[in-house]
Structure 1
Amino acid sequence: MTYDPPVTLTPQVTTVHGVGDLPLCPVGGPISSVQYEYTTTITKSCIDIVEGGSGTRVFTYNTGDTSTFAYNRTVTTVDGVPVVTATGTITAGEFAGALAEQVTVQAALNPLCLGGVASVTGAVTLAIVSVQKPGPRRRRAAPSPGSGS
C-alpha cells in the first residue's frame, strides 16, 4: 500500500492506495486467482498508520465475477510486526453468504518514522469458507383423491 504524501509523525491528509493479487488454492472450479484494489483519502500519522476498523472491499476473480467483502479489522503485533486480520462476510456476488478472513502480515515499520513512510508491504492470505446454499426442496405429492391406496 502506498501513501501520497508519505505519512510522517504529524497527522496529515494522505491518499492510501492498496492493491492485492492473490493466487487461490485450486477448488475444482474455474476460479484460480483474486485481485482487489482500493483508494481512500484519510488523515494518518506514523502513530496510527495501522489500525483497526471496518469497511468493505470488492474482490475480482480471474473469471470476471466479483464478491463484496464486509469486514471488521483488528491489529495485533507479533514480535514487532503488525498483523492485520479482517473477518467478515461476503455480502454480494460470488460466494454471497460465505464467511471470509483476510490476514496481512506487514513488514516492520521504522519506529522513528525517519523520512516518513511512503509504502508498506506485507504477505496476504485470503480464506473464503463457502456456505452451501440449499437446493430446491422436493415436495412429496399428496395422494390424489380416489387413488386406490
Structure 2
Amino acid sequence: MKRIDITTRGRAHVFLTTLAALLSLTVALLAGAGPVSARENGLLDATCTTPSSSSTTYSPPLTNTPQLSTTSSSWQLGPCVSASVPGLTSGSHSDTGTLRSRSCLELLSSGAVTLVFNWNTGATSTMSLNRTTTVVGAVMIVTMTGTVTSGLFAGDTVVITLASPATDVLLCTAGLGTVSSLYSTVVMEVTSV
C-alpha cells in the first residue's frame, strides 16, 4: 500500500477547502445573496442571469505600464425575466472605447460608468453605475451599483455582478503578462424603489 505524505495530504485538504469556499462565495454573489442585493431595497422589476455574459478586448493588450489602447465591449443578457414587462427576455450592450492610455491596474480600480442596454422589446435603459472590484482566489468580481437614469425602468436601482478569471489580470499587474481580453458571466437585478 502506498503511503501519502501528511504534508501533501494537508496541502490537498487546504486547496480543496479553499476551492469549495471560493465556489460557494461566487455562487452566492451571482445569485444575489450578497450584501448589495437589489432585492433588499424593493420589488424586483427585472433580472438577467447566466449564461448572460460580457466580453471585452483590448488592442493592443494591456500591460502594467500605461500605454495607448482601445477597448471593445459586448454584453449579451439572457435569460431575463420581468414582472412589469412580460415580453422582456434579453438585452445587449456594446461599445468601442476611445484610444487612451490604459494599464491592467485600472481593471482592479473603482470608478463611475454609464451603460446603455438595448432590450429585445425595443426599449433602452441608461444606467449610471459605480464600479468596485475584488479578487477572491482566482476569481475577479466586479460589482456595479446605481440607478436607471432614463428609459425603461427609469428611477429603479441596479446591481450588476460580473465574475471572470483573475489569473491574467493578476499576472499582468505583477508585470508577468498582458491582458488581451476578459470574459465574464453576468447577473443583473433591476429593482423598483
TM-score range, shorter chain: 0.7 to 0.9
Pairing 1:1-149 to 2, within 5 Å after superposition:
1-28=56-83, 29-41=86-98, 42-110=100-168, 111-113=170-172, 114-131=176-193
Give the TM-score, by structure 2 length: 0.63
Aligned to 2:22: none
Instruction: Report which structure shows greater RCO (CA 8 Å, sep ≥6).
Output: 2
Aligned to 2:43: none
Unaligned runs of 5+ in 2: 1-55
Give the TM-score, by structure 1 length: 0.80
Task: Return structure 1 stretches of 4+ with deviation > 6 angstroms.
Answer: none
Deviations along 1:81-132, whole A, 9 cap, x unmatched? 221111000000000000011111121233333452110111111110134x
Asked whether the equivalents of residues 38 and 57 of structure 1 are also in contact (C-alpha less than 8 Å), the reply is: no
CA distance, structure 1, for counterparts of residue 81 and residue 104 of structure 2: 38
Say which one has the larger Rg.
1
Unaligned runs of 5+ in 1: 132-149
Identity, % of aligned positions? 40
> Which residue identity does 2:113 align to in structure 1?
G
- Equivalent pairs counted in the alignment come to 131
Deviation at 1:27, TM superposition (A): 2.8
Asked whether the equivalents of residues 4 and 15 of structure 1 are also in contact (C-alpha less than 8 Å), the reply is: yes
CA distance, structure 1, for counterparts of residue 101 and residue 126 of structure 2: 25
CA distance, structure 2, for counterparts of residue 26 and residue 112 of structure 1: 38
CA distance, structure 2, for counterparts of residue 49 and residue 22 of structure 1: 22
CA distance, structure 1, for counterparts of residue 57 and residue 158 of structure 2: 25
Deviations along 1:29-74, whole A, 9 cap, x unmatched? 1111111112223322233333210021101100110000001111
